[in-house]
Amino acid sequence: MYCEVEPKDFQTIHKSNIVQQTAFWARVKKQQGIIPYAFKYKADDDLSFRLQTTPKPVYDDILILLQYINRKHTIAYVPYGPKDEPSSENHGKFIEELSEVLRPHLPKDCIAIRYDLPWENLWSKEDDYFDEQNNWLGPPAVQNQEMRINFNTNNWNLFKTPTDILPSNTIFLDLNQNSEQLLANMKPKTRYNIRLAKRKGVVVNSYSTDYIDEWYKLYKETSQRNGITLHGKDYFQSVLNTHTKDLNSPANVKLLMADYGNEHLAAMFLILSKNRGTYLYGASSDEKRNLMATYAIQWEAIKQSQQAGCNEYDLFGSAPNSNPGHPMHGLYRFKSGFGGYMFHRMGCWDYPLDIEKYGILRAQEVNNQAYHTN
């Protein structure tokens, strides 16, 4: 036996840098109509977990979000979990074993477990997948990915999803340095824009839930400008209003806005979880973009994360490289300017529990008819 699981109250989930694997996130999602399941798991040292210096069993918690995809069937989604990564040759074996021991604890109408793996992408560690400018070219064809992940498994039952849900590419900043060092590591234009915003009188303030309408106005403007999916205002209210004092793994949520006089030029949700600050949602106005408010608000979020004792900052979502043709190139150009390092995750992988019904779900997703959650 490689894995064992034991159900637990989601309120007792242990602290984690990954906000999507906290009791806070479970409560947010419950308020949004998604059912949270929490488990404590044990994995044997045979799997050679990457961060361990000496072989020993791994104990950790895992949060699963159960959502109905139609009136009869559900899917179990694991947002950025499990956190612990085994050795590369045991990726599939671990997920297979974990899935099989979770199976009896999930509803019979659950057709698959979807893991949004936070682990570093295996192909981002190999020189063959980088170009001459050191841009990561991405993983190989899906068939080749699945062949490698299913190596060592018994059932050959892991499938790469057509799309990922949470960002699979991000940029992390190391906060174990002072402000001068952080600024020195930035690109000159980014450093200049931070100082320009301050010189022009842009000020970043924290706001309560009373200002959710101001946030939502900027958010709608940003969504329309960039053609992204629009969440309802209630979605953001649930993130901002969720109380956490009674939780083992709380999160501190801050609504920051970059102001110029009485105008709100940019806004963001900063989430502080254990030792990480995360830029979860952002928005900006089309007005006065020359004042560089988006640079000011990121710099303030970085400083507040550091002041809260965080040792890393997650800029949360970017193009995988500097290719100007990528639809997220603008985000890459903006976020990479703050320094830090690019991190490529494994993305979403499915373990079907009902292979026939999963095939129908798969076909719907390929045709862009599938559910979406996060």
- Tell whether 330 is covered by a domain: no
Segments forming the whole domain that contains residue 12: 3-166+345-366
Residue 213 maps to a domain: yes
**Total domains present in the chain:** 2
Inside any domain, residue 90: yes
CA atoms within 13 A on the CB side of 132: 0
pLDDT at 177: 95
The span from the CA of 103 to the CA of 142, in Å, is: 25
pLDDT in tens, the chain (374 residues): 578 999 999 999 999 999 999 999 999 999 999 999 999 999 987 766 665 566 678 899 999 999 998 889 999 999 999 999 998 999 999 999 999 999 999 999 999 999 999 999 999 999 999 998 888 999 999 999 999 999 999 999 999 999 999 999 999 999 999 999 999 999 999 999 999 999 999 999 999 999 999 999 999 999 988 888 889 999 999 999 998 889 999 999 999 999 999 999 999 999 999 999 999 999 999 999 999 999 999 999 999 999 999 999 999 999 898 888 888 888 999 999 999 999 999 999 999 999 999 998 888 887 764 444 45
Whether 149 and 227 share a structural domain? no
Question: Is 271 part of any domain?
Answer: yes
Q: Which of 267, 283, 310 is the last residue of a domain?
A: 310
> Where residue 194 sits, what CATH number does that domain have?
3.40.630.30
Flag whether 291 is in a domain: yes
> Which amino acid makes up residue 249?
S
Computed on alpha carbons and rounded to an integer, the radius of gyration of the chain in Å comes to: 21
Asked whether residue 16 falls in the same domain as residue 134, the answer is: yes
Q: What angle do CA 186, 189, 190 make, to 5 degrees?
A: 50
| Same domain? 13 vs 142 | yes
Q: Give the 3-state secondary structure of the chain.
A: CCEEEEEECHHHCCCCCCHHHCHHHHHHHHHCCCEEEEEEEEECHHHCECCCCCCCCEEEEEEEEEEECCCCCEEEEECCCCCCCECHHHHHHHHHHHHHHHHHHCCCCEEEEEEEEEEECHHHHCHHHECCCCCECCCCCHHHHHHHHCCCCCCCCCEECCCCCCCCEEEEEECCCCHHHHHHCCCHHHHHHHHHHHHHCCEEEEECHHHHHHHHHHHHHHHHHHCCCCCCHHHHHHHHHCCCCCCCCCCEEEEEEEEECCEEEEEEEEEEECCEEEEEEEEECCCCHHHCHHHHHHHHHHHHHHHCCCCEEECCCCCCCCCCCCCCHHHHHHHHCCCCEEEEEEEEEEEECCHHHHHHHHHHHHCCCCCCCC
My answer on whether 193 and 284 are in the same domain is yes
Residue 11 shares a structural domain with residue 153: yes
In this structure, the answer to whether residues 186 and 161 fall within a common structural domain is: no
- 81 and 192 inside one domain: no
In a domain, 69, yes or no: yes
Residues 239 and 150 in one domain: no
Residues 146 and 220 in one domain: no
Residues 35 and 114 in one domain: yes
Tell me, yes or no, if the pTM score tops 0.85.
Answer: yes
- 32 Cβ neighbours under 8 A, 6+ residues apart: 234, 235, 238
Same domain, 76 and 215: no
- State whether 203 and 234 are in the same domain: yes
Residue 329, domain member (yes or no): no
Q: Determine contact, residues 252/271, Cβ cutoff 8 Å.
A: yes
Angle between helices 188-200 and 293-307 (to 10 degrees): 100
For residue 327, being part of any structural domain is answered with no
Residue 365 has a pLDDT of 82
- Check the CA dihedral 108-111-113-116 and report its sign: negative
